[in-house]
Amino acid sequence: MSSDTSSFGEFEHLVKRALTPVDPPADLTLRLESTLTELTELAHDELESWELSAMRDPRNWVRPVAAAAIGTTAGAALVVLRVRQQHRKRAAKSSGPIDLAERTLHAVADETRRILDR
């Protein structure tokens, strides 16, 4: 019975170690933002260089569809990341939950415009 207790104690110790919070690297946000920005720009360049005359052949649709999907996903993630970074500032300035929601929606619209204007 004591071996069961000791193995349970070891298991409990391993679970506690595995579930201990780990702080992300300090530059993780910058690296993520840089990667998302690069993906968005590459997708934009791919779509910009694509010729409309190639649309007639469905075999040519893969690259522009993939570029649109990647660009949209990376752009949306970039908006979320940037808006999330400023959440505490908006929360401190807001007068309540409705005001915070309005400020957040304005921030999403501003970031979206900023990315689309590039």
Q: What is the pLDDT of residues 22-41, one digit of tens each?
A: 887 888 889 999 999 999 99
Task: Compute the mean pLDDT over every residue in the chain, rounded to the nearest whole number.
Answer: 87
First to last CA, the chain: 68
The residue among 46, 116, 26, 48 whose CA lies nearest residue 78 is: 116
Instruction: Give the pLDDT band (50/70/90) at residue 64.
Output: confident
Q: Which residues lie below 8 Å from residue 67, measured CB to CB, with a gap of 6+?
A: 42, 43, 46, 47, 50
Instruction: Give the pLDDT band (50/70/90) at residue 1.
Output: very low
Written as six digits, the tokens of 28 are 């993780």
Q: How many other CB atoms are found less than 10 A from the CB of residue 107?
A: 19
Instruction: Give the pLDDT band (50/70/90) at residue 9.
Output: confident
**CA pseudo-torsion sign 68, 71, 75, 76:** positive
In the chain, alpha helices (H): 2-18, 28-49, 62-85, 87-93, 97-116
pTM: 0.68
